[in-house]
Amino acid sequence: MSSTPSSPSARPSPRKLPRRRRRVRTAVPLAASGSQQMTLRRAPNIWAFVLLGGVLGAVVGVLVGLSGGGSAEFTQGAVTLFMVSVCTVLGLAAGAVLALVLDRVSVAQARAVTTELERRLIDVVRPDGQLSHDLLPGEKGPQDACGVFGVWAPGEEVAKLAYYGLYALQHRGQESAGIAASDGNRIAVYKDMGLVSQVFDEATLTTLTGHLAVGHCRYSTTGGSHWANAQPTLGATPHGTVALAHNGNLTNSAELYEKLIDKSGFPSQGEMAQGNTTDTALVTALLAEHPHGSLEDAAMHLLPQLVGSFCLAFMDENALYAARDPQGIRPLVLGRLERGWVVASETAALDIVGASLVREIEPGEFVVIDEHGLRSQRFAETRRAACVFEYVYLARPDTTINGRSVYESRVEMGRRLAREHGIDADLVMPTPESGTPAAIGYAEESGIPFGNGLVKNAYVGRTFIQPSDTIRQLGIRLKLNPLKSVVAGKRLVVIDDSIVRGNTQRALIRMLREAGAAEIHVRISSPPIKWPCFYGIDFASRAELIANGLGVEEIRASLGADSLGYISEDGMIAATLQERGELCTACFSGTYPTRLPDADKLGKNVFEARTPVDSSPRRAPGGSAVAQRPEHASAVSIDTRPSATDGLSRRPAERTSISDEDPGVQETSTGCDPGPDADLEDLILPEDRVPAARTTTGPAGPGSQHAAQPETAKDA
């Protein structure tokens, strides 16, 4: 396949090579950008040489005039003045000539440096279809995505809309951020490690021009975290260039990967051949494997083959595409602007950019948005199994999922928790911030006063520097600090959304006791988490989940609380106002909505061992990429038929069940969101760490002594 590389829309300053983590900014094409920058640097040099030449000429003129003496016709002063004038003019001319010569040499050198930077830093679609990533060798990262945003709005500043949309979705991904934009001829991608506000600034966003854009923010997980796996991914296909963002996790990645490998056993094209180990890069590469028709045809061919959770927002040069898995595990919504359309992971992102909610993208639906409007197709039947943990923790409180306010769901969970596990106490307090709505509901239902007993430092997050042993002794106080005047002498009901490993809760309880709390009663607005998630939440391996193998009383004793109560699964589901059969509760029940493959094909690092050692490129110091549409690429097919998403049939979900009697082989999660309190893990003191729970082969309860057994999956 051939393609025509375009001039990158940005160039790093040729003055010096970028630092390792310096971002490459997209800007105007090289000819204009380089010329303007060099002009600003040439002007002072030229005038300096001219001035220097004039001064030297004047000095020479004075010396010559004084040494020559006078004559009958001219006095010595006149001769000196004449020589000064002549020598000054000659000096000015000589300085100007020398300045121009040196300037031309510097321009040639700058162009040579810029050309080298272009070769090393800019991702350009090459004739072989690969992208010229320049990545660090040996660094491999996690394999999924967390927050997506897409906008099609001619005449609007789409990059800025994407920026604000990602800002609203920052809670879903704090490791890296990226935006791709198209002006109809080429796609420019800018991505880097860090928060949205750290990656982008006004100058960068101004250079991302066009009529449509796709954005992505990604959560940090176990394994290497580096620029290679940042999104959107960029790829060349027979149908044009594609930039793709993904929220979720595919469970059949290993099977799909086999379709890409060549005789060497490794992918030969695309970002995966350049060291990208995400299932997002896998989907991007597979879109290029469909040689006929349009990108829409390629997507309709590929989407039915994907298993797991996926919300995709992707684009070519002219159209915006969105797709959601048949189970609808992760949320994806459609919004309307005055002059365009928006797709986003949560409704809160629509509110931020001024878009009105139209509806959710239906499970199993594929949407195309272009100049002819919106077109909807069905690639699979709906088997709804939305993640209940979105209501518990993941989504913003001001988001609505399937018609139900997340905030109201959490408040109702607190009310039901108070009915199920009431206690005589003096104060109801949340663990900031996710426990606040449930604490409000608990206080309302119980009649116990609500108060904030903990102050949260909002500036200690997942980018916090790795603590030294000395700093670590400060422990969780770096993140949360008790209000002694509020908690001292009080019987506290501490509300949290969930317990994963238990380390954070144990540290909090110790800290509250040191602050003078008389009693500490912990209440959790979700059931015990016993099973890992394979659909986008990075719950620990089953052996690390505190509720795996321990009963409630054992967990209470381990945490050091006076009492512990979890909401029932029925109570949690009732609070969401959703049907039980349309929710995924796998992390609580062990029943998964899709069939899971063998353990060796399901890990987060399923691609790591398959990456060729000699093909792992070095890390690029920046994150800019530009691609131009191949000349022979076919146009995106247009269908102006009305949407056909109403009245779609649904059938029971095909589910995989893993029971305590036959626990299942899946020990590690393939998710992306590290789950509640993951940002506190580096701040936990050794004495606050809860030992790994035992993996049991039978029902767990107080005093259970079942030996750990290998886990094997079975079908429901």
User: Looking at the annotation, which residues are catalytic?
Assistant: 146
DSSP string, 139-169: ------B-EEEEEE-TTS-HHHHHHHHHHHT
CB 166 within 8 A of CB 149: yes
- Tokens 């935006």 belong to 179
Q: Which amino acid is at 340?
A: G
- For residue 702, what are the contacts with CB-CB under 8 A and spacing of at least 6? 551, 553, 554
Residue 197, H or E segment: helix 196-199
> Which residue, 320, 248, 321, is CA-closest to 280?
248
**Residue 462 CB burial class (10 angstroms; 0-12, 13-18, ≥19):** middle
265: left (phi over 0), alpha (psi -120 to 50) or beta: left
Strands 427-430 and 491-496 come out as parallel
Q: Map residue 301 onto helix, strand or coil.
A: helix
Give the number of other Cβ atoms within 10 Å of residue 119's Cβ. Answer: 11
DSSP strand E in 365-441: where? 365-370, 373-378, 386-387, 400-401, 404-405, 427-430
Q: Which amino acid is at 255?
A: E
In this structure, what token pair is assigned to residue 129? 């279809």
Query: d(Cα 226, Cα 231) in Å, to the nearest integer?
Result: 11
Q: CA 595 → CA 256, 380, 513, distances in Å?
A: 15, 16, 46
- For residue 2, what are the contacts with CB-CB under 8 A and spacing of at least 6? 127, 630, 631, 632
Q: CA 619 → CA 3, 121, 607, distances in Å?
A: 24, 9, 18
In this structure, what token pair is assigned to residue 125? 């679609």
**Residue 293 CB burial class (10 angstroms; 0-12, 13-18, ≥19):** middle
Note the Cα 72 to chain centre separation in Å. Answer: 88
In this structure, what token pair is assigned to residue 163? 């920026």
**Residue 52 CB burial class (10 angstroms; 0-12, 13-18, ≥19):** middle
Q: Which amino acid is at 213?
A: A
Describe the crossing of helices 295-302 and 279-287 by its angle, rounded to 10 degrees.
120
Helix (DSSP H) and strand (DSSP E) numbers for the chain: 19, 27
Query: d(Cα 144, Cα 674) in Å, to the nearest integer?
Result: 12
Query: d(Cα 511, Cα 522) in Å, to the nearest integer?
Result: 14
CB 148 within 8 A of CB 214: yes
Give the number of other Cβ atoms within 10 Å of residue 705's Cβ. Answer: 7
Each as own residue / partner, the long-range contacts of residues 60-64 (CB below 8 Å, 24 or more positions apart, any chain) are 60/87, 60/91, 61/85, 61/86, 61/87, 61/88
